[in-house]
Amino acid sequence: MASLICGSLAFDTIMTFEGRFAEQILPDQLHILNVSFLVPALRRDFGGCAGNIAYALNSLGGKPVPMATVGSDGAGYVARFKQLGIDTSFVHEIADSYTAQAMIMTDRDNNQITAFHPGAMMQAHVTRIEQRGDFKLGIISPDGRDAMLQHAEQFKAAGIPFVFDPGQGLPMFDGKELAAFIERATWVTVNDYEGKMLSERTGWSSAEISRRVQGLVVTLGGEGCEVWVGGEKTVVPAVTAEAVVDPTGCGDAWRGALLFGLEQGWSLAKCAELGNQVGALKIASRGPQNYDLSSLRG
């Protein structure tokens, strides 16, 4: 069984600001905002939602197939995934673009400011979902707007159950479009903030959304997550991390675990339990694809 993972492959440039953003930004001066942050620590990591989800699922022993676009600078990313044993046959190069780039600055309270250049991701709609014998699951994570819309239709047409995970791409869509995603999806995952926006734009509560799909999960960071099935809510408690080192990619790691559990036929609550374990391990490690999940593999 393979899971088709639609979303971005990106390079993350991660910077650490040793102070607090709140101490540097004056609320009454936001109309003339001009701030500079000294960032002594800087590194470049492999990232992007599809890449991060695929890394987590692969690390757990699942079979991810990322569907994404990279630019002319993406050969090293593709080579790394091949070395990890990840199928890259649905990763396409857009020759006249850069691979998507995220510039992420984190302060001492783990607040983040991110600048994102989509690059080749804006051409992700050139990839097309078609049924393949081993495709049993899919996920739509943040990607180019056209790609997310078209891939939802293609998943439905191919009869492949999928997770709708709009993430930071959610604001691109109005209530009618989001409702259409939900009607096509099998499961929906959002964080608390995204969940409130999703309900506001569709006019549907979490309970109502969960009745339209097989399940809805609202992740709550350090508070665990809410699992909604058939209008009923179950709270799955968080797993305490050994250390809070870097939150980058934690949500994607959680979703990789979700797909692994769904591949095994687990209940949504059991999938969420594994997701919380994976998230705790990820947050204790720097970078979105540098953590070890061997302790969770059977």
The per-residue pLDDT for 291 is: 95
The per-residue pLDDT for 112 is: 84
Strand duo 232-236 + 225-229: pairing: antiparallel
Distance CA 219, CA 189 (A): 8
Averaged pLDDT, 167-183 = 97
Average model confidence (pLDDT) across the chain: 94
Compute how many other C-beta atoms are within 10 angstroms of the C-beta atom of residue 29: 10
Q: Which pLDDT band, with edges at 50, 70 and 90, does 89 fall under? A: very high
Judging by beta carbons within 10 Å of its beta carbon (0-12, 13-18, 19+), is residue 175 exposed, middle or buried? middle
Q: Which pLDDT band, with edges at 50, 70 and 90, does 266 fall under? A: very high
Active site residues: 252
Under 8 Å between Cβ of 201 and 178: yes
Residue with tokens 């990279």: 70
User: Model-level pTM?
Assistant: 0.91
Per residue in 93-143, pLDDT (tens digit) is: 999 999 999 888 989 887 888 888 999 999 999 999 988 889 999 999 999
Give every CB contact of residue 237 below 8 A, 6+ residues apart in sequence: 224, 276
Averaged pLDDT, 265-288 = 95
Closest CA to 37 of 19, 51, 54: 19
Distance CA 259, CA 53 (A): 9
Where is pLDDT greater, at 114 or 52? 52
Structure tokens at 137: 């699951």
Give every CB contact of residue 281 below 8 A, 6+ residues apart in sequence: 241, 253, 291, 292, 293, 295, 296
The yes-or-no verdict on residue 298 having pLDDT over 70 is no
Residue type, 149: L
Residues in the chain: 298
**Kind and range of the H or E run holding 275:** helix 268-283
Q: Taking the alpha carbons of 220, 177, 139, 171 in that order, is the dihedral positive or negative?
A: negative
Under 8 Å between Cβ of 47 and 248: yes
Strand duo 91-93 + 112-117: pairing: unpaired
Averaged pLDDT, 241-246 = 89
The yes-or-no verdict on residue 27 having pLDDT over 80 is no
Give every CB contact of residue 34 below 8 A, 6+ residues apart in sequence: none
